[in-house]
Every structure is written in C-alpha cells, then in structure tokens.
Amino acid sequence: MAPSKIEYMSDIWKDGIFENKVVFCTGGAGTICSAQVRALVHLGANACIIGRNVEKTERVAKEISSIRPNAKVIGIGSVDVRKFESLKDAAERCVKELGAIDFVIAGAAGNFLASIEQLSVNAFKSVMDIDILGSYNTLKATLPYLVESGKKHRVDSETLDPSPSGTGGRIIFVSATLHYRGMPFQAHVSVAKAGIDSLSNSVAVEYGPRGVTSNIIAPGPIESTEGLGRLLPSDVKKAYTRSQPLGRVGHVRDIADATVYLFSDSGSYVSGQTLVVDGAQWRTSGGIGELQYPDFLLSGEEVANVTGKKQSKL
C-alpha cells in the first residue's frame, strides 16, 4: 500500500513548485530516498530512480508515479553505482525519456555493525566503493546535465527573481552523523561519509560559478529503515528513543522536507552546507543500543548477527 501524503511531506509546500523538473536518484527504491523522491514528484517533478534490484526498483517507481496525475517516474534496476558506465547509461536514458536532469540525490549506501577487528579488508573496501566511489560516479554521470540546468535556472542577485521556470542544477549527497564524534563499530561508514562530505564541499566551490549548488543531508536515526533495524535492536529501541533530546527518532518525512527546502527557491543561496536532521542526537553520547561503550569493546566479544557483512565482501 502506497504511503499517504503526511508520511512523506509536510503540508507547508506549494503544489507545482517543481513542475517540469527532473530528479535523478541513486538508492531511489530505499526507504529514505523513495520518500525524498515522492515529495518532489508530489510537487510536480518527474523522476528517475536507480537501484540494484530490478523488480523492487520498477515496483517503487510505479508506486511513486501514482501519487500525481501524469507523473512520469522511471525505475532503472541492475545498476551498480561502482561502475561509471552503468550510471552514465542510466543518466542518458533519464535525459532521453524525461528531457533533463535538474536535481540529483546521491543516496546509494551500505552499512552494518562491525568492530575494526571484525572488519575485513574486502568489507571495508566494499563500503568505500559503494559510498564514495558510487557518489563520485553519480556526480560525474550527471554533471553535464546539472551544469546545463544550473545555467538555465539562475537566480538574479539584484531582483532575487528566480528563473521563470523555477530552480535547477542542484545535488544532495545523503550522508550521516557518525563521523562527527567517532562511533564504535562504524569505522567503515564513518570514513566513507566523511569522504562524501568533502566531495560535496568541493563540488560547491568548483561548480557554484556554473550555477550548481551542492549540499549534504545528514540523517540521524530514522524510523522504519533498514539502517535503524540493523543498528538498534527492537528490545532496546524504547529506552534509546527516550534518551534522545526530542524524545523520538526521525521519520522519512523529516528528510524529505529538508530535500524540498534545498531544491526549492528557499534554498537558492544555500551551498556547501551540511543540513543535519537528527533532533540533536549527535550532540549526545553513548553506545549503540545494547553495545555500551567502552564495556563491550573491552569484553573482547564480537558483534553478533552482523547483518550484511557477508554481502559486503564483493
């Protein structure tokens, strides 16, 4: 069953603000990225979502296309973000069928819990390849179209009037907050996300003069996502949630709303920034669920049930 509007965007946004715009999203069939795309499509955009699983990607694309009459959403599966040609072909198909790429969301990622002792060289490399190389490949494959869109949709600095046809030339990298303070059992992802943050900042500086903005959204713990399920076992979730500054974990709508802000006219002068959407969670300290720091590390035990570990050895 498709989610209702309240589950993927707030009521404050004006319908049609992204009319005739096109968003290209890697990891677009995932829980967070699909909500981001849903919000943009609801507000007028067409979309191309990219994923590994053909059936899932096409199914989610069809579901998203149903939220607005005449919406066009393409689902391209069997795309490996670690392979540039695969992404380049997907971007070319997107432009051929939808006419442009105005917005990009680089959201493909992988994660699991593991200490450095448990983490094999291949597993570490796999996360680097998916997160950092995948983000760079996404950028390279879509940059020509982003530059074209950025040139077409510039904001006049004197009148502040946006282009008559709205915004464009914008990319968001989906990152995390793990590397801000150092998180046990997350060395691989922390290194990867720090690299993605640096990449986004470089894009903002190098391509700002060409009308392209680049920003980072760093989600905290988000309800009903695979990542939260892996990192926070259900038996300790209640206590963990109660310990958060706002007394709750995040919702995909929180991330989707942040996306709309950055891609809309209201974000026209925001570039090279990190928008943390985590309710101040990263300002607190502690372990991950039942893996309390430093007791668990000193015990010599291994993290049990490392979901995704075998799959990461590519």
Distance CA 93, CA 99 (A): 9
pLDDT band at 27 (very low <50, low <70, confident <90, very high): very high
Instruction: Look at the block and give the residue holding tokens 């008559």.
Output: 164
Average pLDDT over residues 39-60: 97
Q: Name beta bridge partners: 277.
A: 219
- For the chain, list the domains and their CATH numbers: 12-299 (3.40.50.720)
Whose tokens are 């391509």? That residue is 207
Q: Kindly report, residue by residue over 235-260, the tens digit of the pLDDT.
A: 667 777 887 888 888 999 999 999 99
Residues known to be catalytic: 175, 193
Residue 156 DSSP one-character state: P
> Which of 5-9, 133-137, 292-296, 309-313 is predicted most confidently?
133-137
39: nearest Cα among 62, 55, 20, 15: 15
pTM of the model: 0.89
From edge to edge, which strands make up the β-sheet containing 22-26? Answer: 73-76, 46-50, 22-26, 103-106, 170-174, 213-219, 274-277
313, with CB counted inside 10 A (0-12, 13-18, 19+), is exposed
CA atoms within 13 A on the CB side of 18: 31
Position 175, amino acid: S
Q: Determine which of 148-157, 202-211, 235-244, 257-266 has the lowest per-residue pLDDT on average.
A: 235-244
pLDDT at position 292: 66
Question: According to the model, what pLDDT value does residue 286 have?
Answer: 53
